Amino acid sequence: MNTQKNGNLPVLELKGLSKSFGGLHAVRDVTLKIMPGDRKAIIGPNGAGKTTLFNLITGIFPSSSGQVLLFGQDVTSWPSHRRTAMGMARTFQITHLFPKLTVLDNVLLAIKGLRSSKFVMWRFLSSYSEVYDKAHHLLEQAAFMDRKDTEVRYLSHGEQRQLEIVLGLASDPKILLLDEPAAGLSSGESTEMAEFLMKLDPKLAILLIEHDMDVVFDVAHNISVLHFGEVLESGSPAQIRDSAKVQEIYLGTD
Ligand SMILES: Nc1ncnc2c1ncn2[C@@H]1O[C@H](COP(=O)(O)OP(=O)(O)O)[C@@H](O)[C@H]1O
Ligand SMILES: [Mg+2]
């Protein structure tokens, strides 16, 4: 039984996590700890094992060995939805937005989608002031209130990617896993994405995979470099930027 107070408990802890696909060791012995409010990035060349690591954390793949702990609880054998219920959210590349509905309606549906009652008439749903209040809170927090009545199809690609993250926040996660949130964005949109992420609730932990180093250095307080499935080095953005080893395998070549 863990008697620590919640504040001292890591949101997420990986202990010797490994995954093999046949003879290929995609993730090897990864150990890391994420505390409430931590902003951590995982970087590394293509094929380093970053997405596989996310799939192990979120329960998409079973691990070959090692453990995943959420708030001290061993969830290694838990399916994804149970991890989500405990406070883990992940955004996917595939969009879950409804382009012909407004920003607000998309958020309302995301919140409603988490609740149990199905087949509820829209008019009935509209009367739920609790759901509305939550939607407004989410949109305010994400600085989206000015666009709440805009149909999603009229948002820029960068704004749509941000909105997907807002929808991910509907489940009140304690940790948000983002796999390349700036992928496919222009450099201006990437800068806006970084600014958007930096404005999110400081208590929310973020684990970020990202190729755009400007976004990584803006958002992350700590960076781990994955190379052939292993953590090659972890440290502050400055330590990683100055690491000869890291420059050799990653920064210099990408
Ligand atoms: N489902 C899978 N089956 C077999 N091999 C896989 C699978 N997913 C990923 N791999 C392999 O694992 C390695 C790591 O891939 P991945 O985690 O996607 O890397 P990254 O996200 O860092 O680019 C690669 O060699 C990839 O081909
Ligand atoms: Mg990947």
Q: What is the pLDDT of residues 199-244, one digit of tens each?
A: 999 999 999 999 899 999 999 999 999 999 999 999 999 999 999 9
Q: Which helix (H) or strand (E) holds 39?
A: strand 39-43
Residue 238 confidence (pLDDT):
95
pLDDT score, position 38: 97
- What band does 35 get if pLDDT is binned at 50, 70 and 90? very high
* Mean of the per-residue pLDDT values of the chain: 89
The overall pTM is greater than 0.75: yes
Predicted local distance difference test score (pLDDT) of residue 96: 76
Task: Decide: 50 in ligand 1 pocket, CB within 6 A.
Answer: yes
Please state the domain extents for the chain: 1-87+173-254, 97-172
Phi, psi of 229 (to 5 degrees): 80, -10
49 lines ligand 1 (CB under 6 A): yes
Q: Which of 20, 42, 46, 52 to mutate to test the pocket of ligand 1 (most atoms within 8 A of CB)?
A: 52
Among protein residues, the one with the nearest Cα to ligand 1's atom 9 is: 52
pLDDT tens digits along 80-92 = 989 988 999 887 6
Percent of the chain at pLDDT > 70 equals 88
Assigned CATH topology for domain 1-87+173-254: Rossmann fold (3.40.50)
Instruction: Note whether 106 and 163 are within 8 A (CB).
Output: yes
**36-63 pLDDT, tens digit each:** 999 999 999 999 999 999 999 999 999 9
Residue nearest ligand 1's atom 5 by CA = 21
**Number of residues written out for the chain:** 254
Distance CA 163, CA 99 (A): 11
Vertex 138: Cα angle to 8 and 191 (nearest 5) = 85
The answer to whether the beta carbons of residues 39 and 208 sit under 8 Å apart is: yes
CA distance 125 to 160: 24
pLDDT band, residue 254 (cuts 50/70/90): very low
3-state secondary structure at position 202:
coil
Among 18, 20, 24, 254, say which to mutate for ligand 1: greatest number of ligand atoms within 8 Å of CB. 24
Residues 6+ apart with CB under 8 A from 53: 17, 19, 27, 30, 42, 226
